[in-house]
């Protein structure tokens, strides 16, 4: 009989976490236990939908003449995305991302009034991102050296609903060709104890 080891502490429930943004070129945190400091800016409260780590891949299969199964598959597209809804829409860092503006453009005047315009011709707005997922003693960190919000949902203002900015962030390769760096603190995996 086979002895199957199961360990609940090796599973992940995204019980808590956070997100931060910084200019491109900001280095990754060395540990998921470290508190991000400037120039990292917090994104604030994230909706209870949490964080979605997306995989968008396409491939091309090559099947030789006379066979019915491919003998090679070539990856033709491999994109990583992060999806989340931020609720603290009055944060300068959040508004800066939503409207593709420099934070300095969102400084209020002497009367506390902020004014800005949305352009009909937005330019690329790449930033560095740090996402953290916490489950008890497990910490999963995702460092995105170059990411950009490429999809924004409609924003509702209703009495019975929290307004938020729902984003999909596409990752781009850095100079090393990497799109996402993982920095985790996870429980040790128990040794296999087969019979």
Query: Is residue 191 a part of any domain in this protein?
Result: no
Report how far residue 183's alpha carbon sits from residue 30's, in angstroms, rounded to the nearest whole number: 7
Query: Is residue 66 a part of any domain in this protein?
Result: no
Report how far residue 9's alpha carbon sits from residue 195's, in angstroms, rounded to the nearest whole number: 23
Q: Please compute Rg for the chain using Cα positions.
A: 21
The tally of domains found in the chain comes to: 1
pLDDT tens-place string over residues 58-97: 899 999 999 899 999 999 888 999 999 999 999 999 999 9
Beta bridge partners of 165: 86
CA distances from 31 to 50, 108, 134, 141, 181 (A): 21, 35, 13, 8, 12
pLDDT tens-place string over residues 122-142: 899 999 999 999 988 889 999
What domain range includes position 125? 14-59+71-185
The model scores a pTM over 0.85: yes
Give yes or no for a contact between 168 and 15, defined as CB atoms under 8 angstroms apart: no
Query: Is residue 65 a part of any domain in this protein?
Result: no
Report how far residue 150's alpha carbon sits from residue 120's, in angstroms, rounded to the nearest whole number: 15
Report how far residue 111's alpha carbon sits from residue 91's, in angstroms, rounded to the nearest whole number: 18
How far does the chain reach from its first CA to its final CA, in angstroms?
7
Query: Is residue 115 a part of any domain in this protein?
Result: yes
pLDDT tens-place string over residues 166-191: 999 999 999 999 999 999 988 777 66
DSSP structure class, residue 165: E
Copy the structure tokens of residue 49.
């939908």
Helical H runs in 22-156? 92-98
Query: Is residue 1 a part of any domain in this protein?
Result: no
Cis peptide before 101, with omega less than 30 degrees from 0? Answer: no
Query: Is residue 195 a part of any domain in this protein?
Result: no
Query: Is residue 7 a part of any domain in this protein?
Result: no
Check residue 151 and give its pLDDT.
94
Give yes or no for a contact between 89 and 165, defined as CB atoms under 8 angstroms apart: yes
Copy the structure tokens of residue 171.
């990752």
Check residue 193 and give its pLDDT.
59
How far is C-alpha 123 from the chain's CA centre? 21
Copy the structure tokens of residue 25.
């070129």
Query: Is residue 8 a part of any domain in this protein?
Result: no
Geometric angle at alpha carbon 160, from 156 and 166, rounded to 5°: 35
pLDDT tens-place string over residues 27-36: 999 999 989 9
């Amino acid at each position: 009989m086979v002895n199957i080891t199961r360990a609940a502490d090796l599973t992940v429930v995204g019980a808590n976490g956070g997100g931060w943004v910084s200019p491109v070129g900001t280095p990754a945190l060395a540990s998921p236990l470290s508190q991000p400091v400037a120039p990292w800016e917090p994104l604030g409260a994230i909706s209870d939908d949490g964080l979605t780590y997306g995989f968008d891949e396409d491939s091309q299969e090559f099947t030789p003449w006379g066979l019915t199964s491919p003998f090679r598959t070539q990856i033709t597209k491999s994109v990583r995305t992060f999806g989340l809804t931020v609720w603290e829409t009055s944060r300068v860092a959040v508004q800066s991302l939503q409207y593709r503006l420099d934070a300095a453009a969102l400084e209020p005047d002497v009367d506390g009034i902020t004014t800005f315009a949305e352009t009909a011709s937005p330019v690329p707005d790449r930033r560095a991102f740090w996402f953290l997922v916490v489950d008890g003693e497990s910490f999963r960190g995702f460092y995105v050296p170059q990411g950009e919000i490429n999809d924004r949902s409609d924003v509702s203002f209703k009495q019975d609903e929290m307004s938020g900015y729902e984003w999909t962030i596409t990752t781009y390769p850095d100079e090393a060709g990497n799109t996402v760096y993982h920095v985790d603190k996870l429980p040790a995996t128990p040794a296999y104890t087969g019979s």
